[in-house]
Amino acid sequence: MNKRENLDYKNHDDRDPNPWLAMYLDNSIPINDRTKLSLMRDNSSKAKKYLLPLIFVWSKIQMFFIHIFKFFFPRLINSSKILHRILAWGLRVFVSPDANLLIFRHFHVGSEIMEFIAKNIENIEIQTIPIKPRNFEDIKDDVFLKHDLNLYNFVIKLNGQLQEKKITIVGKKNLDLSMITEDQFDHIEFPNKWTNILDLRSAIELFTPFYQLFLTSNDFVRASNSLQLDETIGIYTSQILNAPAHLGLVNNKHPMVPETTYSSAYRLVLHGLAAETLHCILVNLKLQNNVDGIITPKH
């Protein structure tokens, strides 16, 4: 079966147009083709249509009671190791190949964006810690928690150096894009058994209560609030490139005014989309200028 299934213009019906075919064919938003295909197929899945509404209600009820439980017993249940074993098992057994691709790819994309920022600001030296899981065993190494910690530590260290040196963000004359890869993710094969049916949003909604239960309140709230740092990362990149237009693609904004944790699942999907679009902008910039990754931006 063609991997694009119904996302083919030849299958278009004027009387019943497929909205996801329209989104797949539209190129107004820059995004990796493999990612876009997986996201559109994920959106059109039966799980998204029939299971998500039920999982959504169940998730919010569980989060409400866990919130009360954590108020009275904040550290009675606290184990990132157990959480990540549950996440690794759940991803392997229940999540669809398309949703797994989007989840795994996000860590790779996020690591490359952070490294790009770290290496392209004048007079700043920051060592990043790439997180690039390649199998479900790698997930067990506290990958989700480390992803959030890395982001906040990066923002703190970067701005600490900016304040100490009394400078602002200025992109280097010759930008280094060597860390940005045009990765189609063909190197990871995800399970595709009869149990692997959950779409991305359903999986996140289902796993969020476990995230809330097994992490401390600080870790859980910080993870939720980190999603609004999309705006911060977008601003850093626009200052380096001297090109603010792509900030219009950021939807998770205003990190100083945090959203409720009950909306974190939906915002996490937006977070993934923001990372993918920014990464694609950097990929295109690299391909248009120099395949070796060193370019001189046009100011």
Tell me: pLDDT of 234 over 50. Answer: yes
Domain of residue 51, residue span: 33-295
Q: What is the pLDDT of residue 185?
A: 86
Q: How many domains does the chain have?
A: 1
Q: Is residue 195 part of a domain?
A: yes
Q: Is residue 251 part of a domain?
A: yes
Residue 1 banded pLDDT, cuts 50, 70, 90: very low
Q: What is the pLDDT of residue 297?
A: 56
| Average per-residue pLDDT for the chain | 92
Q: What is the pLDDT of residue 248?
A: 80
Q: Is residue 8 part of a domain?
A: no
Tell me: pLDDT of 134 over 80. Answer: yes
Q: What is the pLDDT of residue 196?
A: 98
Per-residue pLDDT tens over the stretch 111-125: 999 999 999 999 999
Q: Is residue 15 part of a domain?
A: no
Q: What is the pLDDT of residue 91?
A: 98
Angstrom distance (rounded) from CA 27 to CA 288: 17
Tell me: pLDDT of 299 over 60. Answer: no
Tell me: pLDDT of 166 over 80. Answer: yes
Q: Is residue 18 part of a domain?
A: no
Q: Which residue has the higher pLDDT, 291 or 135?
A: 135
What percent of the chain lies above the pLDDT cut of 70? 95
Q: Is residue 4 part of a domain?
A: no
Tell me: pLDDT of 252 over 80. Answer: yes
Tell me: pLDDT of 4 over 80. Answer: no
Q: Is residue 190 part of a domain?
A: yes
Q: Is residue 5 part of a domain?
A: no
